Homo-oligomer: A and B are copies of this chain.
Amino acid sequence: MAQSDTVDRILDAAEELFAERGFSETSLRMITGKAGVNLAAVNYHFGSKKSLIQAVFARFLTPFCIALEAAFDRLEAETAPKPPDLESVLRVLTATLVEMPRQHDRSIAIYMRLQGLAYTQSQGHLRRFLEAEYSHTFGRFMRLLKNATPELSAVERYWRNQFMLGATAFTLSSSDALTEILWNKLGVETPNEEIVDQLVPFLAAGMQAHTVAHGNTGNSDSGA
């Protein structure tokens, strides 16, 4: 067994098991069993289970954020000096997501589910880690969204951002289960690429829904 083959085998197994069972429900013994390595290897190479979880996210999130920033660069260059419109921003995001993990021949669903779990399962340390590590890219995305929806008040944009986030995280985090249910019901298979094809127009339309006449707040201010 070559040098640090062990590290990658652990990450592969953990990634898969975390995605399908959650963090607390996945024991180190399951992971090392699946990886075919010794139990102690996790604590030797990663220090703790928490660090393992963070390492799993770092392995796919770091290259993803790099690719995403590059894609944003390209998009903004194309549309300059005008800011990119909403659907373009969303499409760049989902396209980068869908094309990312081909290298590792893994279903995107795994990473989507992990991303969803990051929001859903408490895991305070994970939230802090992601915030510290990837807030730059996240903030840039938020700024693009703001420029793409100038007609919204700050309050409206804030809540609609949450709606988008929810629809995305929630759906993608259970995309495998949902796809299977649909298969049993209608006999139709929906690859993840198609789910996001459905998702983008839904989100764009929701964001641009006619504003509800309410007694609140002036126009456009802070981001989200």
Q: Are A171 and B178 in contact (CB under 8 A)?
A: no
- Contacting residues, chain B, for A122 (C-beta < 8 A): 20-22, 25
Q: How far is the CA of A122 from the CA of B116 in the complex (A)?
A: 13
Q: How far is the CA of A169 from the CA of B24 in the complex (A)?
A: 21
Q: Is the interface of A mostly helix, strand, loop or mixed?
A: helix
- Contacting residues, chain B, for A209 (C-beta < 8 A): 201-202, 204-206
Q: How far is the CA of A6 from the CA of B160 in the complex (A)?
A: 42
A207-224: CB near B (< 8 Å → 1, else 0) gives 111111010110001101
- Contacting residues, chain B, for A164 (C-beta < 8 A): 167
Residues of chain A whose beta carbon lies under 8 Å from any beta carbon of chain B: 20-22, 24-25, 116-117, 119-122, 154-156, 158-160, 162-171, 173-174, 178, 182, 185-186, 188, 190, 194-195, 197-212, 214, 216-217, 221-222, 224
Instruction: Find A120's partner among B120, B200, B210 (CB 8 Å cutoff).
Output: B120
A-B contact pairs, 11 of them (CB 8 A): A154-B186, A155-B188, A158-B182, A160-B198, A162-B178, A167-B206, A197-B214, A201-B211, A201-B212, A202-B207, A205-B205
